[in-house]
Amino acid sequence: MSTPIRLLVQFIVIMLIQVFFLNGIMIKSAVTVLHVPVFIPILYPLFILLLPVNIPHPLLMLLGFITGLTMDMFSNTPGMHASACLLIAFIRPFVLNLFLQQQMKELGSTIPSLYKLGFNSFLMYCIIMIVTHHFYFYILQFWSFKSILIILYKTLLSGILSIILIILAQLLFAKQEIKRA
């Protein structure tokens, strides 16, 4: 399957899972901070995380914006998802440079997956990207540092759940790629 078609299918599948399944799940935590016990699992940044390494930065930013804008349309959050996705799309090449030993151009269209980066590197890559996304998103949502406890609480819980979902998705789908090879 060609790269643009694979990316389109990947985008559609991730968005369908997020919009129709995960957005409907509100997890009520037993621990409440300032009476905010509910958080929603967020998986859609996985699309940005799994784009090829050699993707041009302007295209990466455009895809990040489209991803966030799509979520904004389904979540009634005008510009918040788009802004958070633009942020992680912007920092992605710099974060990848931390974990990739080779030059980005040498890697070609390599996808930074669990099996390509190794578990520890992929986990750290996910943690940096997801925590950045969630922290920025919740800052925009609450629009105040007075609510820093709520922001940190929701970032922590949503981030842990999102990273678990991303690792599970990688274990389920990246394994199939290895079997075919």
Asked whether the beta carbons of 116 and 96 are under 8 A apart, the reply is: no
Instruction: Count up the domains in the chain and report the number.
Output: 1
Q: Which of 49-53, 89-93, 106-110 has the lowest mean pLDDT?
A: 106-110
28 strand-pairing partners: 38
Nearest to 161 by CA among 143, 139, 138, 134: 134
pLDDT: is 135 or 6 the higher one? 135
Distance set, CA 114 to CA 90, 119, 132, 141, 149 (Å): 21, 6, 19, 31, 32
Place of tokens 């759940």: 161
- Per residue in 100-132, pLDDT (tens digit) is 766 555 666 777 888 887 888 889 999 999 999
38 strand-pairing partners: 28
Distance set, CA 167 to CA 9, 49, 142 (Å): 19, 12, 28
**pLDDT on residue 179:** 42
Residue 181 has pLDDT above 50, yes or no: no
- Per residue in 76-88, pLDDT (tens digit) is 888 899 999 999 9
Q: Residue 129 belongs to a domain with what CATH number?
A: 1.10.1760
Question: What proportion of the chain, given as a percentage, has pLDDT over 70?
Answer: 82
Instruction: Enumerate helices (H) and strands (E) in the chain, giving the number of each.
Output: 8, 2
How far apart (Å, rounded) are the C-alpha atoms in residues 129 and 104? Answer: 18
pTM for the full model?
Answer: 0.84
**pLDDT on residue 64:** 93
Domain that holds residue 85: 3-180
Residue 30 has pLDDT above 60, yes or no: no
Q: Sorting pLDDT into bands at 50, 70 and 90, what band is 41? A: confident
Residue 177 has pLDDT above 70, yes or no: no
Residue 69 has pLDDT above 70, yes or no: yes
